[in-house]
Structure 1
Amino acid sequence: MQRPDDLFDRQVEWDDLVDFVGGDDPIRIGIVYGRRRQGKSWLLRRTVRQAGGLYTMALQHDRQSALRRVAGSLASLSSLPGIRFELADWEEALRSARTVLDQAGQRVLVLDEYPYLLEHSPELSSVLQAFYDDVRNDRNGKPLRILLCGSAISVMEELLSGSSPLRGRTNLEMLLRPFDFRQAARYWRITDPELAFVVHAVLGGTAGYPDLVQIGPPASPSELPRWLAQTVLNPSSALFSEDAYLLREDPRIRDRAPYFAVLEAVSAGKSTPTAIGGAIGRDKSALAHPLDVLTTAGFLVHDDDVRKQRRPSIRIADPLVRFHQLITRPRLWQFEERRYEEAWAAAQQTFAAQILGPHFEHLCREWVRLFASADSTGEPVGGVGRTTVNDPRSRKTHELDVVALSAGERSQDRTARVAVIGEAKSSSSRRTIADLQRLEHLRRLLAAEGADCEQARLLLFGRSGFDHNLQSTAALRSDVELIDLDRLYRGS
Structure 2
Amino acid sequence: MFIGREQELKILNETYDKPGFQMTVIYGRRRIGKSRLITEFIKDKKASYYVASQTSLEDNVRKWGGQFIDDIAPELEGAEFSDLENFFKFVGNTCKDERVIIALDEIPYVAEADESFLSRFQIAIDTILAKKNIYLIICGSAISFMEKEILSEKSPVFGRRTNQIFLKPFDYLDSAKFVPKYSAEEKAIVYGVTGGVAKYLSLFDDRLSLDQNIINNYFTSSGYLFEEPHNLLTQEFRTINTYNSVIEACSNGANKVNEISDRTHESTATLSYVLKNLMTVGVISKVFAITDEKNKKKVSYEITDGMYRFWYRFVPMARTAIEMGRGDVYYQKYVKDKLHEFMGEIFEYMCRYYVLLKGMDGELGCFVTNAGKWWGNGHDRKPTDIDVVGIDNTSNKALIGECKFKNEQIDKGIYEALMDRKGLIDRKYEEVQFLFFSLSGYSKWVEENADKGKVKLLTLEDLYI
Q: TM-score under structure 2 normalisation?
A: 0.92
Aligned-partner SS, 2:437: strand
Quick one: structure 1 residues 94 and 423, their matched pair in 2 at CA, closer, same or farther if it must change by over 3 Å? same
Identify which of 36, 39, 58 aligns with 2:33: 39
- The answer as to 2:141 corresponding to 1:151 is yes
Aligned-partner SS, 1:208: helix
- The equivalent residue for 1:471 is 447
Cα distance in 2 for partners of 1:54, 1:230 equals: 36
- The answer as to 2:414 corresponding to 1:438 is no
CA contact (8 A) 2:92 2:129 kept: no
- The answer as to 2:101 corresponding to 1:108 is yes
Cα distance in 1 for partners of 2:70, 2:257 equals: 53
- The equivalent residue for 2:368 is 381
Cα distance in 2 for partners of 1:218, 1:473 equals: 42
- The answer as to 2:428 corresponding to 1:451 is yes
Aligned-partner SS, 1:109: strand
- CA-atom RMSD, angstroms? 2.3
Query: C-alpha displacement at 1:109, in angstroms?
Result: 0.4
Query: C-alpha displacement at 1:348, in angstroms?
Result: 5.3
- The answer as to 2:282 corresponding to 1:288 is no
- The equivalent residue for 1:346 is 334
- The equivalent residue for 1:412 is none
For 1:224-373, list aligned pairs within 5 A.
224-250=210-236, 253-308=237-292, 309-311=294-296, 312-344=299-331, 345-347=333-335, 351-353=339-341, 355-372=342-359
Aligned-partner SS, 1:466: coil
Aligned length: 460
In structure 1, the gaps of 5 or more residues are: 1-5, 410-416
Identity %: 25
Query: C-alpha displacement at 1:84, in angstroms?
Result: 4.4
CA contact (8 A) 1:382 1:406 kept: yes
Cα distance in 2 for partners of 1:171, 1:62 equals: 29
Query: C-alpha displacement at 1:356, in angstroms?
Result: 1.2
Cα distance in 1 for partners of 2:24, 2:216 equals: 40
Deviation per residue, 1:380-419 (Å, 9 max, x gap) = 1111111124235x3212111111111437xxxxxxx242
Query: C-alpha displacement at 1:184, in angstroms?
Result: 0.8
In structure 2, the gaps of 5 or more residues are: none
- The equivalent residue for 1:187 is 178
CA contact (8 A) 2:219 2:328 kept: no
- The answer as to 2:44 corresponding to 1:50 is yes
Cα distance in 2 for partners of 1:137, 1:97 equals: 12
- The answer as to 2:455 corresponding to 1:480 is yes
Cα distance in 1 for partners of 2:216, 2:272 equals: 38
Cα distance in 1 for partners of 2:178, 2:392 equals: 32
Cα distance in 2 for partners of 1:407, 1:191 equals: 38
Task: State the one-letter code of the partner of 1:431.
Answer: I
Quick one: structure 1 residues 383 and 131, their matched pair in 2 at CA, closer, same or farther if it must change by over 3 Å? same
Cα distance in 2 for partners of 1:120, 1:136 equals: 22
- The equivalent residue for 1:3 is none
For 1:83-122, list aligned pairs within 5 A.
84-102=78-96, 105-122=98-115
Cα distance in 2 for partners of 1:63, 1:129 equals: 16
Q: Which has the higher mean CA deviation after the structures are superposed, 419-428 or 321-330?
A: 419-428
- The equivalent residue for 1:413 is none
Cα distance in 2 for partners of 1:470, 1:375 equals: 25
CA contact (8 A) 2:66 2:80 kept: no
CA contact (8 A) 1:98 1:144 kept: no
For 1:193-232, list aligned pairs within 5 A.
193-213=184-204, 216-217=205-206, 223-232=209-218
Query: C-alpha displacement at 1:373, in angstroms?
Result: 6.7
Quick one: structure 1 residues 236 and 136, their matched pair in 2 at CA, closer, same or farther if it must change by over 3 Å? closer
Query: C-alpha displacement at 1:24, in angstroms?
Result: 2.0
Task: State the one-letter code of the partner of 2:265.
Answer: G
